[in-house]
Amino acid sequence: MMMHTGRCLCGALRYETLADPIRVTLCHCRFCQRATGGAYMVEPIFQLDHLRLIKGEPKIYHRPSGGSGKMIYIHFCAACGTKLWLTFERFPGFAGVYAGTFDDPNWFEIRAETSKQIFTSLARPDTVLPPHIPAYAEHAMLNDGTPRAYVVYDHPHIVGRTR
């Protein structure tokens, strides 16, 4: 097991992960678009006890999810505003890290067996969805835990275009 560290822009908050992510979510929802300022969020998911704060104390902003209505807790730096990770009422015991806050944001792999793309129906029309990663139009499951249908593309798929 190798530790991986990350921090906010100003360095007031530092964290480390103590294991590999259990999965990686590529989320195209409007919340993630706004929260990252980008087209989508790359979110490695960890068991909460595998994420450890090593410097500072984050502020927590909470808001209901637009999909489930359950609370999402955004852990961020009060000094510079960097969002570092999310915790979830819907999924207690897990945290989703904003991948770009890792000191090496490329240390984990995005593999078909452990990754998924969600809310692809809200993706920008020019977004390229990687092949072989399950793609869900909305969340991967209903509020009751029932899995939703997904598609898997054999080649990179450009949203808004047909092949």
- How many distinct helices (H) and strands (E) make up the chain? 1, 12
Q: What is the pLDDT of residue 149?
A: 96
**Rg, the chain, Cα only:** 16
pLDDT in tens, 56-85: 999 999 999 887 889 999 999 999 999 999
From residue 147, give the alpha-carbon distance in Å to each of 23, 93, 98, 142. 16, 20, 25, 6
Give the pLDDT confidence of 7-43 residue by residue, as tens digits: 999 999 999 999 999 999 999 999 999 999 999 999 9
Residue 1 has pLDDT above 80, yes or no: no
Residue 106 contacts by C-beta under 8 Å, 6 or more apart in sequence?
A: none
- Given a cut of 60, whether residue 152 has pLDDT beyond it is yes
Architecture field, domain 11-102+109-158? Beta Complex (2.170)
Domain residue ranges of the chain, discontinuous segments joined by +: 11-102+109-158
